[in-house]
Chains A and B, each alone.
Chain A
Amino acid sequence: MSIPAILISTIFVNNYVLARFLGICPFLGVSNKMETSAGMGVAVTFVVTLSSIITYFIQKGILDLLGLQYLQTIVFILVIAALVQFVELVLKKISPSLYNALGVYLPLITTNCVVLGVAILNIQEGYDLVRTIFNSLGSSIGFTLALILMAGIREKLEIADIPEVLKGFPIALITAGLMSIAFLGFGGLV
């Protein structure tokens, strides 16, 4: 796939949240406010891209060479966990203001399945380094887009008259379903 096709596909057509069901927990958990959604989106974009590059080199340079592909899951998740810790430490030292803005989201990212999902899918699809980077960027931008759109809708839902039993999670899921229908309209674009 060409690079523009990868970007359009991951942001719109196969949006990781609305079409592939990755990263649902943070999508529903932190999409209450516009501001926190944007913060989470930036943090995820950063970690996804960095971890995809690192796991790419680990896969090609170590696992494939030694025939240890079966250790993929365990190695990738450890790399991601360590990376998140490392980013947290570095941010704290270098840019306390950025740390204050993103810090709270960082620990949540380890268990965000977008990160591990993108890392594994990059390898499965056989992408080279450049495609890996753009696929990671596209998928996390798609995640951020879904998150921000959702936050915009949920801020309005707060004041809407919703049956008591549907408040919170259920109505958020139904909203996500409607957004997902809208995104189906992008189908066949690439």
Chain B
Amino acid sequence: MKLSKIFRDGIINDNPIFVQLIGMCSTLAVSTNVVNSVAMGAAVIAVLVGSNLVISILRNVIPDKIRIPAFVVVIATFVTIVEMFMKAYAPPIYEALGIFLPLIVVNCIILARAEAFASKNGIVASIVDGIGMGIGYTIALVVLGAIREIFGAGTFLGMQVLPASYQPAGIFIMPPGAFILLGILIGVFNLARRKKSSSKA
């Protein structure tokens, strides 16, 4: 497989949120604004690349029977490291992400990539897969975060973008807004993919 294809698959064809529909919890919870989305995306990319790398290195050493617990230990280690460094160097973001930072451990994206890709492929391919999937996840998060922030607070990256007379629709920032918006976005993504495949055929 070509590296560029692996990379593109992660972002578009196999986008973890819009296509594989995994890793929903953190997506819905932290995408209240763009900054949180980017921070969560960065944390997931770091964990994903790290765990893919280590698991790819160890793929011939870890016996098949205990691979899942072994993967989980590796993933939990990277998550805790990311957590510590965020707490030390970016405390406001650490507070904003809250419980969803340690919960990256059970984010299906990470374990799914370890199981489906890194345990079967070489080091370089695994790193590229980690970056691609991580960016795919981040893009979905940022799109969601941008829409929620603009309509829910009238700001983008904390700067006022809509006129002050705009009464922010708080529902976008609250939980219902997250559910409904993500549902609609997945529908739009489906529509776009379908148009593309029918124009190809």
Contacts and interface: CB of A to CB of B under 8 A. Distances in A.
The answer to whether A and B touch directly, with their CB atoms under 8 angstroms apart, is yes
Interface of A: 18-25, 28, 70-74, 77-78, 81, 110-113, 115-117, 120-121, 124, 163, 165-166, 169-174, 176-178, 180-181, 184
A116 B76 CA distance: 12
B108 interface: yes
Interface of B: 21-22, 24-26, 28-29, 68-69, 72-73, 76-77, 79-80, 83-84, 99, 102-103, 105-108, 111, 171, 174-184, 186-188, 190-191, 194
Q: Which of A71, A169, A173, A174 has the most CB of B within 10 A?
A: A173
Contacts of B184: 170, 174
Contacts of B105: 73, 77, 116
Contacts of B182: 173
B87 to A, nearest CB: 10
A75 to B, nearest CB: 9
Contact of A170 (B102, B106, B186): B186
Contacts of B180: 173-174, 177-178
A53 to B, nearest CB: 19
B22 A25 contact: yes
B25 A177 contact: no
A174 B190 CA distance: 15
A20 B100 CA distance: 10
A181 B25 contact: no
B102 A120 contact: yes
Nearest to A18: B175
B178 A21 contact: yes
A78 B176 contact: no
A73 B25 contact: no
A181 B170 CA distance: 12
B29 to A, nearest CB: 4
A78 B69 contact: yes
Contacts, number: 118
Q: Would you list the 5 A-B pairs with minimal beta carbon distance, nearest first?
A: A173-B183, A177-B179, A177-B180, A174-B183, A21-B29
Nearest to A110: B106
B176 A181 contact: yes
A73 B22 CA distance: 21
A171 B72 CA distance: 32
Given A24-B24, A24-B25, A176 B99 contact: no
Contacts of A120: 99, 102-103
A177 B76 contact: no
Contact of A173 (B22, B77, B171, B186): B186
A166 B72 contact: no
Q: Which of A19, A70, A113, A163 has the most CB of B within 10 A?
A: A113
Nearest to A23: B25
Contact of B72 (A81, A112, A172, A173): A81
Contact of A116 (B24, B102, B181, B188): B102
B155 to A, nearest CB: 22
A120 B105 CA distance: 12
Contacts of B108: 25, 111
Contacts of B77: 74
A169 B105 CA distance: 24
A11 to B, nearest CB: 16
